[in-house]
Structure 1
Amino acid sequence: MFNYLEPPNAFYEFERIYSVEQWRKKQHWIAEYLREYQPDIIGFQEVFSPESLQQLVAGQGYCYFAVVDEPQVIDDFIYRRPVVAIASRYPIVEVAAVKANTELALSLGLADEFSFSRKVLRATVDVPHMGNCDCYVVHFKSKRSMIEVDNKNISRTPEQTIIESLKAQVAGSWGSTIQRGSEATLLMIEIIARRETTGQPMVLMGDFNNTLTDGVLSHLLTNTLRFVSAIDRDAYLAKYCLQDAWDLFQVAVTNETPEEEKVPRTPTHYFGASSSVLDYILLSCDFDASYHDSLYQVSAYDTYDRHLINPIFERDGESTDHGIALVTLTLRS
């Protein structure tokens, strides 16, 4: 949502307040996306004003909405620590904030008070033909350094300030990586435990602030299991693990039109001259057409990025800094 905060409140700093016109444009942009693409279930990040968002999406036909946290407010009107949210056209029958297993966190060398940088939302949605489906909405820790240096410290020379900034960047960035990877690990453990208890289908969606291919979050797509027979291994990996919706879509395309050339994946974030996929939708085997008991299959995968690659100020001036991943699921025939 890129700082969805209703004025006259400020995000992070006292002068960062939307004007009436800016706020109107931001709300209009969101409403137009929902009207054009009509997602049935949608996850949001960077929500400072959940009540306003709930009212906005209700006007687009989303009767069900949930959050599990509230932003931090300092100095009466300055907001920090935005939250995640979910909206659905289908009934949300249960909502909970996922809690990390403190015993496991300690065994991993983490602090006993370890917590997610933003609370993870789990909403159980009553999906047509399927019944209860657990939808997780996340916003994992960013790559921003966890350590800040006071660059106005007059007791340091300019060189000392640069050196301290360098050390803070190296250590702070690694600290953020540890936090992000730990969040994904502890969440995956809870997802597996939930699946074991309920057997319900699973969807994990959100801003991962990382690619899934560099190792930090790759365990979210675990596809190997050591010291287990091949038959048992494949069955349990399929039942308890997640797959990238993009990969499932590529398999579906290849099966239907094997001669077609594969289309490269569209990035969801741009920084300078570089680009990457940071936003994902991961699915359980219940949405995998190759799994014999699946009800749905991925029939389309789209990344909405017009506001990033071809922005028009009047239309996109108060949009978002990420592309939006959209998956279409179709009942198997």
Structure 2
Amino acid sequence: MTKPTRYCFASLNLLNFAAPPYSFYQLSEHYDETQWQSKTQFVTGLIEHIDPTLIVFQEVFSIDALKSLCEDMGLPYFATVDTPQLDAIYPNVLFNPVVAIASKLPFQQVCAFEPCPELLEYLNNQHQFRFNRTPVKCCIEIAGFGPITCYAVHFKSQRVHSMAHMVDGSEQDDPLLALLHKTVGTMQSQISRSLEASIVYYDALKTQREQRHATLVMGDFNDNLTSPALSFMTQTFPLQVNTHNRFDSVGLFDSFSFADNAHSFTQKPASHYYQGEGNVLDYILASQQFNPNNEASVLKSLTYHNYDAHLDPKRDEEDIRYSDHSAIAIEIML
């Protein structure tokens, strides 16, 4: 009897992965050598435990350090498509972390994800739009399964951009400013996140139909998938679409819904905690080819993992030696 072959796909928000002497966002925010050693030991230990075939990362400031770490962990194929920005006055202060992807298998192709110009025109946003963090789009191939198009994403955060410059004479404790941030600012954040997600969703479905690739959209979505900003990504298609032979493998689904072990959880485990409340912010969306119950699937099983041992729901402050997110992964057997 042939032994099943294991593959694993994972995502991890690294939380400010910036090697000394660099700081993140402001001069006072940085790692000392002991903290950085703890950070890299945490990341390497987690990767060793997960043993991913492919893993995507968010909040990467020190690209070369992460690339070297991944190579040491048996992930020689590594890609980023953007670089963090240096502060104009303090060159050791970094802004705009990037997403990265590392793999045991070679990339058939890898590139910065470029939005469809016609879609941007349709959305009346052709001149203004840019991703807050440029996604990585790549393709790998698994023997006996076929090509997989992967998107590594980190959608717009829920952080609100200040509107203080728009309110005359306002101070940070101005109640009007606080109200505007809670309403207009929050809505702007949701719109930005939804726009990013819709552009990736469009490309994923178009690629599925045209190239018949299995698909994974992986990363930190910064929102719950059931929120109005993101719920369209896993919506059920109308019957007339589902029965059309050109759409039999088109669509995205929360991979947790495919998992053989989903029943062992009372609910989907949180991947992030804020003020003691758990939220699911990190996702691996998958196409129908990853559903072991699909008649056309070659998968024997899919198992969902949530690596959250380092998270303490009661902790209010971030511990930069670790991450404020759990790692998530799906393990498939062929």
Taking structure 2 as the reference length, what is the TM-score of the superposition?
0.87
Task: Report the aligned-residue RMSD.
Answer: 2.5
Is 2:309 aligned against 1:294? no
Q: Once the two structures are aligned, what percentage of the paired residues are identical?
A: 29
| 2:228 counterpart of 1:215 | yes
Per-residue deviation, residues 274-294 of structure 1 (Å, max 9, x unmatched): 211010011111111232221
Structure 2 counterpart of 1:139: 154
- Pick one of 95, 108, 111 that aligns with 2:110: 95
Are 2:202 and 1:189 aligned?
A: yes
Shift of 1:247: 0.3
What is the one-letter code of the residue matched to 2:231? S
Task: Give the aligned partner of residue 267 of structure 1.
Answer: 270
Contact 2:276 2:313 in 1 (8 A): no
Query: What is the deviation of 1:16?
Result: 1.1
Whole-angstrom CA distance in 1 between matches of 2:241 and 2:38: 57
The whole-number CA distance in structure 2 between the counterparts of 1:274 and 1:146 is 23
2:172 and 2:158 map into 1 onto residues whose CA distance is 26
Deviation at 1:112, TM superposition (A): 2.5
SS at match of 1:240: coil
Distance in 2 between the 1:297 and 1:220 partners? 26
Distance in 1, matches of 2:271 and 2:211, equals 33
Q: Distance in 1 between matches of 2:171 and 2:148?
A: 58
Secondary structure (helix, strand or coil) at the match of 1:2 reads: strand
Aligned length: 316
**Partner residue, 1:225:** 238
Aligned with 1:329: secondary structure? strand
SS of corresponding position for 2:119:
helix
Q: Point out which structure has higher relative CO (alpha carbons under 8 A, 6+ apart).
A: 2
Alpha-carbon deviations, 1:9-62, whole Å to 9, x = none? Answer: 111001112111111110010011111221111110000111110001111111
Q: Which runs of 5+ in 1 are unaligned?
A: 255-259
TM-score of the pair, normalised by structure 1 = 0.87
Aligned to 1:327: 330
Q: 1:26 aligns with which of 23, 28, 39?
A: 39
| 1:15 is the counterpart of 2:28 | yes
Query: C-alpha distance in 1, partners of 2:150/2:75?
Result: 16
The structure richer in helix per residue is: 1
Counterpart position of 2:214:
201
Aligned to 2:7: none
Q: CA deviation at 1:63?
A: 1.2
Residue number among 278, 281, 286 corresponding to 1:278 in the alignment:
281
1:110 aligns with 2:125: yes
Deviations 1:210-239 (A, max 9, x none): 11112211111121237x36622xx55541
Alignment of 1:113-132 (within 5 A): 113-132=128-147
- Note the residue ranges of structure 2 that are not aligned, 5 or more in a row: 1-13
Superposed CA deviations along residues 102-122 of structure 1, whole A, max 9, x for unmatched, are 332232243533121110111
The 1:317–1:121 alpha-carbon spacing in structure 2 relative to 1, beyond 3 Å, is closer
Q: 1:65 aligns with which of 65, 78, 81?
A: 78
Give the residue type in structure 1 aligned to 2:193. Answer: R
Deviations 1:141-167 (A, max 9, x none): 0111123437xx9955787x2212321
| Alignment partners' CA distance in 1, 2:302 and 2:149 | 20
Name the CA distance, whole Å, in 2 between partners of 1:156 and 1:163: 8
